[in-house]
């Protein structure tokens, strides 16, 4: 074999070998940081479940960082947000240190990716900039000073400045989700209506309401204690260059095995697609074969996607 051919052959062999290398595959994974450690919810379970869903998809390399316990020294909580493609917030607790607040805002403002999961939108009611990052929040003293209510009338979003507390929910139940934007990368290819498994439905949320793309809403049925309004439940947020995905679903159950809202294949699919979009601005993962239908709930009991 002539020398040129030998070199060419060696180069092709290296290319083939590295394209199947697990090391290279790992380096292509998006880097996600889950933040937890305080919450009025069952965070010891929820942050492990979020990690399982993201890591078992093979799309993400996942780190978890826990804050000190309530009342602890927050100067010790100092994440390197900039090392990550996306930060997943599973946190509702004591205010961070000023330097961590500033680092987080720098990360978000330079175009960072953020996922706001369930009660993370209860956090930091008095932090004005955080409320712009979540667009809508609830509880922790939120009221008309926090911004309007946002809900849908005949499919059109309305702002309601009427007085009243921000944040409530009726009894947990199965409920249908209604797609409001089928062209967004996160929703493309998913059914217009799908049945979510037993969960809370957040309603009467308030805030600056700077929703960019409303993706799903649900009807908060007054028969089970809801607001009687069509409520925004999954959306992206308009905040400069940042990519922010807010999912209000996913109330955490008592254990990994007894956790229907997070075991719902619809919740897991939306979490994965929203987190990929927040990390990259694109969604490349295929529509899964086990997505719920308009009548039938579907579960991934072990948080494993169907391709595994």
- Nearer Cβ to Zn ion, position 39 or 146? 39
97 burial level (CB within 10 Å; 0-12, 13-18, 19+): middle
Q: How far is the CB of 41 from Zn ion (least distance, A)?
A: 5
- Nearer Cβ to Zn ion, position 47 or 184? 47
Q: Which stretch in 23-31, 43-51, 175-183, 247-255 sits in contact with Zn ion by CB under 5 A? A: 247-255
- Find out whether 151 and 170 touch, Cβ atoms under 8 Å: no
Residue with tokens 């199965």: 174
Of residues 140, 135, 132, 145, the one with CA closest to residue 94: 140
Give the per-residue contact string, 185-224, with Zn ion (x = CB under 5 A; - = no).
---------------x------------------------
Q: Which stretch in 3-11, 45-53, 156-164, 251-259 sits in contact with Zn ion by CB under 5 A? A: 251-259
The closest residue (CB) to Zn ion is: 251
- Nearer Cβ to Zn ion, position 107 or 124? 124
Q: How far is the CB of 262 from Zn ion (least distance, A)?
A: 11
If one asks whether residue 184 binds Zn ion (CB under 5 A), the answer comes out as no
Q: How far is the CB of 251 from Zn ion (least distance, A)?
A: 3
81 burial level (CB within 10 Å; 0-12, 13-18, 19+): buried
Q: How far is the CB of 77 from Zn ion (least distance, A)?
A: 23
- Nearer Cβ to Zn ion, position 121 or 200? 200
- Rounded distance, CA 109 to CA 240, Å? 7
> Under rule CB under 5 A, which residues in 123-142 are in contact with Zn ion?
none
Total site size for Zn ion, rule CB under 5 A = 2
If one asks whether residue 251 binds Zn ion (CB under 5 A), the answer comes out as yes
β-pair type (202-203, 193-199): unpaired
Q: How far is the CB of 209 from Zn ion (least distance, A)?
A: 21
Residue 70 CB-half CA count within 13 A: 7
- Nearer Cβ to Zn ion, position 47 or 251? 251
Q: How far is the CB of 105 from Zn ion (least distance, A)?
A: 26
| Cα 183 versus chain centre, distance | 19
Q: How far is the CB of 299 from Zn ion (least distance, A)?
A: 19
Q: Which residues here bind Zn ion, judged by CB under 5 A?
A: 200, 251
């Amino acid at each position: 074999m002539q020398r040129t051919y030998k070199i060419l052959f060696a180069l092709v062999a290296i290319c083939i070998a590295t394209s199947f290398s697990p090391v290279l595959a790992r380096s292509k994974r998006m880097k996600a940081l889950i933040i937890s450690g305080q919450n009025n919810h069952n965070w010891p379970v929820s942050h492990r479940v979020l990690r399982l869903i993201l890591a078992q998809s093979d799309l993400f390399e996942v780190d978890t960082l826990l804050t000190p316990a309530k009342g602890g020294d927050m100067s010790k909580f100092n994440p390197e947000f900039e090392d990550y493609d996306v930060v997943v917030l599973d946190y509702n607790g004591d205010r961070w240190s000023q330097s961590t607040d500033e680092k987080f805002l720098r990360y978000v403002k330079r175009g960072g990716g953020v996922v706001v999961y369930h009660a993370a939108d209860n956090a930091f009611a008095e932090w004005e900039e955080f409320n712009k990052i979540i667009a809508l929040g609830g509880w922790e003293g939120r009221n008309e000073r926090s911004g309007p209510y946002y809900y849908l009338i005949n499919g059109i979003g309305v702002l309601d400045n009427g007085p009243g507390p921000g944040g409530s929910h009726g009894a947990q139940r199965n409920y249908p989700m209604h797609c409001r934007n089928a062209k967004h990368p996160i929703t493309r290819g998913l059914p217009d209506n799908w049945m979510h498994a037993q969960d809370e439905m957040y309603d009467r949320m308030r805030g600056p309401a700077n929703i960019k793309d409303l993706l799903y809403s649900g009807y908060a049925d007054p028969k089970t204690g809801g607001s009687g309004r069509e409520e925004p439940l999954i959306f992206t947020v308009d905040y400069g260059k940042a990519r922010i995905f807010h999912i209000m679903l996913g109330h955490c159950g008592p254990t990994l095995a007894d956790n229907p809202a997070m075991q719902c294949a619809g919740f897991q699919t939306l979490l994965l697609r929203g987190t990929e979009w927040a990390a990259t601005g694109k969604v490349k993962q295929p529509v899964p074969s086990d997505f719920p239908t308009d009548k039938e709930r579907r579960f991934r009991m072990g948080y494993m996607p169907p391709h595994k």
